[in-house]
Structure 1
Amino acid sequence: NRLIFFSNGFCRYLEKNFPDLKKGGVVIGYDARSHPQSGGNSKRFARLAATVFISQGVPVHLFSSITPTPFVPYTVSHLKLHAGIMVTASHNPKQDNGYKVYWSNGAQIISPHDKGISQSIEENLEPWPKAWDAVLIDSSSLLKDPYNDINKVYFEDIQRSCFHRTINKESKLKFVHTSVHGVGHEFVQSAFKAFGFAPPLAVPEQKDPDPEFSTVKYPNPEEGKGVLNVIFDLTKWGGVLFILGGVNEFYRICILIFPSSGEWKLFSGNELAALLGWWIFTCWKGQHTDQSAIKNIYMLASTVSSKILQAIALKEGFHFEETLTGFKWLGNRAKQLIDQGKTVLFSFEEAIGYMCSSVVLDKDGVSAAVITAELASYLATRNLTLTQQLKAIYEEYGYHITKASYFICHDPEKIKNLFERLRNYDGKNTYPKTCGRFTVSRIRDLTTGYDDNQPDKKAVLPTSKSSQMITFTFTNGGIATMRTSGTEPKVKYYSELCAPPGNSNPEQLKKELDDLVDAIVKDFFEPEKNGLTPQSS
């Protein structure tokens, strides 16, 4: 019922905004989720959504098979459609499912459309005639299958981001890929082929779609090595490995390497962003002799992500901007800049989400995986590893040490009380001035719209009363953000400590950041008092 109501309301809202909706239409994709408690599976839900639109005379481009999420926003832009729907719950537990919506610009919806669609759903809670009869759409001329076309042109488009095809063909590095029971296997294989690579080895236990996610607790590479545990039998693979791990619908990517030291190195989302941002800018710079073009170059990151791109931008002369958390903000801002004639080279969020090409205005694990492989292959020709290059980036642009984690809490009232305590710390409408031995120098509250660093005390970034988010800046240069998750019962924190170029003591920075985080957890979160369970992995 809920999916039908969503589709009813979304269809009516699109009709109000696009008089030519019946000429263009929408695209619908889906992942491989299926669970008895949900009453069906992603494919069935996608067909029901298609039935709603077709019953109103709206053309629907419904993928005939599972696809990675990036295919949906790509199709919206490629076919110039009015909207896109992806039926997926991303990295959530197996019993969940979700309904992700894209606007005509190829980016996820933001205000005012999110509020408009919600209101339209409330106004359309009666199922339309034949809305349940998905079989009827099979004979409709309004039903189209974009699978073969998109599966061809998408890879043609992303291969334009390939900079070293000769090196790729000669690469001796060994890549292993796991889709973590999701949809990514076939598409990563195709991406490697498009870039001139031999196909990566597949982890057999996690290669095929499996709605039960049988080898992991959560299909989420953010959880670390626990999600990639089946890979750790080195006798199976042998040699130096680069592990490319994707999320269920493959629009996130993580990288795990086994260097000669004999220990695994799992790159954080911020570390991989530093590498990809450096690589993509280096390639752009090598292709442009007229360096005045740099004035139109942009990179973007979410506000809780590392500021390493900002440091690179300041030294190299291009632009850096931050947005609110989530690729809906990054994608829409990128589109605005592109429409102004700017070039957005790279965008990222620390939750291992990367937009390495503007052909998709969302995070895209498929292109990120193969571009990372290209970077690693290029470095190998210079006898460098990803770890060594990351160190070189930090030494040139300044060390950016980050630490992030979360607490689980199923009681919304406790979460609300936690944040309200911080807003009324030493009396009404006062925030903490210290945290342990650390002094607070700035407060930005994107729930209330307060920012004491602005002349009028009003935050520049958009605010939302429906979510909790407070950022503390400290006199030692540290910054920490506490926020709630939009999809899970989590309270997250993100912290970073930066040093100017030339600082050669990263261990001291790590110790300082550890002490700061410990103080934040103890004084601000008060986990025992608030019933918070720490991240287990």
Structure 2
Amino acid sequence: MADLDAKVAEWLKWDKNEATSAALQALLAEQKFDEVERILCNRISFGTAGLRGKMAVGYSNMNDLVIIQTAQGFLKYLVHTDEDLLKRNGIVVGYDGRHNSKRWAELTATVFVNAGYPVKLFDDVVPTPFVPFSILRYGCASGIVVTASHNPKDDNGYKVYGPNGAQICSPVDKHVQKSILENLKPLDSSWDVTVLVNNPLVSNPIEEITSCYLDYIDNEVPESCKETNKRADVAFTYTAMHGVGYKYVRKACDRINVRISAVPQQRDPHPDFPTVTFPNPEEGKSSLELSFKHADETNSRIILANDPDADRFAMAEKHPSTGTWKIFTGNELAALFAWWTLRCFKQRHQHIPLSKVYMISSTVSSMICKTMSQIEGFNYIDTLTGFKWIANKALDLEKDGNKVIFAFEEAIGFMCSTRVLDKDGISALAQMATMVSFVYEEGKTMGQQLEDIYSKYGYHVTLNSYYICHEPAVIRRIFERIRNYKGDKTYPESILNGKYTIRNVRDLTTGYDDNRPDKKAVLPVSSSSQMITFNFDNGFVCTLRTSGTEPKIKYYTEMCASPEMKNVDELSSIVEEMVRGICHELLEPHKNNLKSQAA
């Protein structure tokens, strides 16, 4: 109890935010000592995605004091790693429209300015992609954006980029966490944001970055395509999902002759996301109900959507004869993007051989880019899950003289250019709208265009879901059973009594890959998370992995069929059968501890 008393006294001494201090006092008055211990004796950890969590009092949550401590620790880390760059070009700080986002951006800027380092602080909400774009534009030592992306309204986050414009990777996060823990005592000056007013170390990059970013969008769309956009005159419905996207999407679309009509109830930033339970277009119908209504009212056949910080992109299309809506999955959108990106690249850059061209995806995403590469002659590579891995791999490839033209994750994240080394929902929207105009002018729907792609390269049928498991020990037993399936250090060889044979196993927890001559995986290995991929003889791929932020065992499956296999219903049946087999044989022996979320 003495330790808890010390933590309470420390918090009340350090925290100058009246609301959070009062919240702690209320918990103490109600004698909720277990809750007080939970929030004060545990600390939210700084990872490769920075911070993300609930906005509330305590070291385990997101609040003013935790932000100041994080900023002070991160400042010390940057001073230690490259003070010359920090002093010369400073950092860039952006924020979204959530509660506290602007406040925490200003607190961060205050910490750096008080230490004598320049800060480019946006004076209004901006899309997350603006921050990595700004880092490359100005050569900054780092970039920070205060956002929780598409999380629920009670959450917020603190996303950090390195001087290369990509999200930080391990072990940088561990070094930053160590520096935070060594600089926990908040300076009194860190609370006074008035130091930012008329300070020569503070500049507002919003006009210049908006202009440069729009120029970049403009240049990525050929003049002939802008004419097609104008001629096609397709009516697009757009939803910003109560986020920051509309103002910038509108300007980008004006540049390339695309006409959008925004869902009025969701057009402007709102920290409470009043019209959606989860502000994430990946949720599908539940998040797009108002978009469907607005599209019907305005005779629009295409819905374009961003998540609240505008780094993700989604699309839906109304069937011309049935009037039903198809919501494209992230993998389906990736197939369309890959086809379009390659087509445009070959037209505009005929002097660059495809042997120097790359596409990238995360290892749990569709292998459509890999399949295309084997037919078209460009290169494909996969990475671990997360755009931090994708972006840093893209940088490595381009340093070696290659050209990365497209990268994606199945969770509706797309990078259509290395000008932004992260997923970018606005540039993706501009490219997709242009693609729609082209396809419609040819008399096809986007659904038909997707069918054409699969007809040429082979159908890629996916089925993804997850199990909830709140017991880490059970999760460990499940994966250890898989690794010792029929004796010590043996993996399954087949499922459903030998009906489907496993050709290859890759285990990125242990570093095992029996497809390599030395049996050692090429991708980075992490013993702190579980990830095993099975490749079957019939082209079926299944990855089982744990979530880094949720109590889940996720499975990602895909049938990569040959172009000769045209029966989609038959392929879907095989996928469903194999998923049932995998779940039954590998996961459900522990079914008493699992809750299936399968559709």
TM-score, normalisation: structure 2: 0.85
1:119-130 alignment to 2 at 5 Å?
119-130=178-189
Match of 1:369 in 2: 429
Q: Does 1:5 align with 2:69?
A: yes
Task: Give the alignment partner of residue 213 of structure 2, picking from 132, 148, 154.
Answer: 154
- Distance verdict in 2 for CA 1:410–1:212, change over 3 Å: farther
Please give the alpha-carbon distance, in whole angstroms, between the structure 1 residues aligned to 2:134 and 2:297. 37
Match of 1:38 in 2: none
- Distance verdict in 2 for CA 1:312–1:205, change over 3 Å: same
Deviations 1:346-399 (A, max 9, x none): 111111000012210100000101110000000111101111111111111111
Match of 1:22 in 2: 87
Q: Does 1:454 align with 2:516?
A: yes
Match of 1:443 in 2: 505
The one-letter code of the counterpart of 2:124 is S
Post-superposition shift, 1:225?
1.4
**Residues 404-413 or 304-313, more deviating:** 404-413
- Distance verdict in 2 for CA 1:181–1:415, change over 3 Å: farther
The one-letter code of the counterpart of 1:296 is K
- Which has the larger Rg? 2
Q: Share of identical aligned residues, percent?
A: 46
- Structure 2 gaps of 5+ residues are 1-64
Contact 1:495-1:517 at 8 Å conserved across structures: yes
Match of 1:326 in 2: 386
Post-superposition shift, 1:476?
2.2
Post-superposition shift, 1:491?
2.6
Please give the alpha-carbon distance, in whole angstroms, between the structure 1 residues aligned to 2:477 and 2:114. 46
Task: Give the alignment partner of residue 43 of structure 1, picking from 77, 102, 112.
Answer: 102
Contact 1:418-1:530 at 8 Å conserved across structures: no
Match of 1:248 in 2: 308
- Partner secondary structure for residue 274 of structure 1: helix
Contact 2:238-2:291 at 8 Å conserved across structures: no
The one-letter code of the counterpart of 1:334 is A
Match of 2:245 in 1: 184
Please give the alpha-carbon distance, in whole angstroms, between the structure 1 residues aligned to 2:533 and 2:357. 28
Please give the alpha-carbon distance, in whole angstroms, between the structure 2 residues aligned to 1:120 and 1:346. 35
Please give the alpha-carbon distance, in whole angstroms, between the structure 1 residues aligned to 2:168 and 2:294. 43
Please give the alpha-carbon distance, in whole angstroms, between the structure 2 residues aligned to 1:535 and 1:130. 52
Post-superposition shift, 1:279?
0.4
Q: Does 1:464 align with 2:526?
A: yes
- Partner secondary structure for residue 97 of structure 1: strand
The one-letter code of the counterpart of 1:440 is I
Post-superposition shift, 1:403?
1.5
The one-letter code of the counterpart of 1:512 is I
Match of 1:263 in 2: 324
Please give the alpha-carbon distance, in whole angstroms, between the structure 2 residues aligned to 1:67 and 1:412. 38
Q: Does 1:378 align with 2:441?
A: no
Post-superposition shift, 1:429?
3.1
The one-letter code of the counterpart of 2:95 is Y
- Distance verdict in 2 for CA 1:44–1:420, change over 3 Å: farther
Please give the alpha-carbon distance, in whole angstroms, between the structure 1 residues aligned to 2:308 and 2:553. 22
**Residues 444-453 or 522-531, more deviating:** 522-531
- Distance verdict in 2 for CA 1:171–1:504, change over 3 Å: same
Contact 2:237-2:295 at 8 Å conserved across structures: no
Contact 2:235-2:301 at 8 Å conserved across structures: yes
Match of 1:167 in 2: 228
- The runs of at least 4 consecutive aligned structure 1 residues that moved more than 4 Å come to none
Contact 2:467-2:594 at 8 Å conserved across structures: no
Contact 1:171-1:197 at 8 Å conserved across structures: no
Match of 2:545 in 1: 483
Q: Does 1:418 align with 2:481?
A: no
- Distance verdict in 2 for CA 1:42–1:235, change over 3 Å: closer
TM-score, normalisation: structure 1: 0.94
- Partner secondary structure for residue 305 of structure 1: coil
Post-superposition shift, 1:312?
1.3
- Distance verdict in 2 for CA 1:227–1:491, change over 3 Å: farther
- Distance verdict in 2 for CA 1:426–1:75, change over 3 Å: same
Deviations 1:411-448 (A, max 9, x none): 44443333333233334433333333433222211112
Match of 1:389 in 2: 449
The one-letter code of the counterpart of 2:244 is V
Contact 1:398-1:498 at 8 Å conserved across structures: yes
Contact 1:158-1:359 at 8 Å conserved across structures: no
Please give the alpha-carbon distance, in whole angstroms, between the structure 2 residues aligned to 1:99 and 1:235. 35
Please give the alpha-carbon distance, in whole angstroms, between the structure 2 residues aligned to 1:398 and 1:26. 46
Bigger RCO of structures 1 and 2 (CA < 8 A, at least 6 apart): 1
Contact 1:435-1:519 at 8 Å conserved across structures: yes
Please give the alpha-carbon distance, in whole angstroms, between the structure 2 residues aligned to 1:364 and 1:66. 16
Match of 1:145 in 2: 204
The one-letter code of the counterpart of 1:446 is L
**Residues 81-90 or 334-343, more deviating:** 334-343
**Residues 248-257 or 311-320, more deviating:** 311-320
- Distance verdict in 2 for CA 1:135–1:458, change over 3 Å: same
Task: Give the alignment partner of residue 80 of structure 1, picking from 121, 139, 149.
Answer: 139
Please give the alpha-carbon distance, in whole angstroms, between the structure 2 residues aligned to 1:86 and 1:406. 30
The one-letter code of the counterpart of 2:67 is L
**Residues 274-283 or 258-267, more deviating:** 258-267
Post-superposition shift, 1:287?
2.1
Task: Give the alignment partner of residue 111 of structure 1, picking from 152, 156, 170.
Answer: 170
- Partner secondary structure for residue 431 of structure 1: coil
Deviations 1:258-298 (A, max 9, x none): 121322111111110110111011011122344x6222211
- Distance verdict in 2 for CA 1:92–1:397, change over 3 Å: same
- Distance verdict in 2 for CA 1:234–1:252, change over 3 Å: closer
Please give the alpha-carbon distance, in whole angstroms, between the structure 1 residues aligned to 2:272 and 2:546. 27
Task: Give the alignment partner of residue 403 of structure 1, picking from 437, 458, 463.
Answer: 463
Match of 1:307 in 2: 367
The one-letter code of the counterpart of 2:381 is E
Please give the alpha-carbon distance, in whole angstroms, between the structure 2 residues aligned to 1:430 and 1:207. 54
- Distance verdict in 2 for CA 1:412–1:98, change over 3 Å: farther
Between the two proteins, the alignment pairs up a number of residues equal to 528
- Distance verdict in 2 for CA 1:22–1:519, change over 3 Å: same
- Structure 1 gaps of 5+ residues are 35-40
Please give the alpha-carbon distance, in whole angstroms, between the structure 2 residues aligned to 1:91 and 1:409. 23
Please give the alpha-carbon distance, in whole angstroms, between the structure 1 residues aligned to 2:267 and 2:598. 27
Post-superposition shift, 1:188?
1.1
Please give the alpha-carbon distance, in whole angstroms, between the structure 1 residues aligned to 2:268 and 2:539. 46
- Distance verdict in 2 for CA 1:479–1:183, change over 3 Å: same
- Distance verdict in 2 for CA 1:256–1:238, change over 3 Å: same
Post-superposition shift, 1:521?
2.4
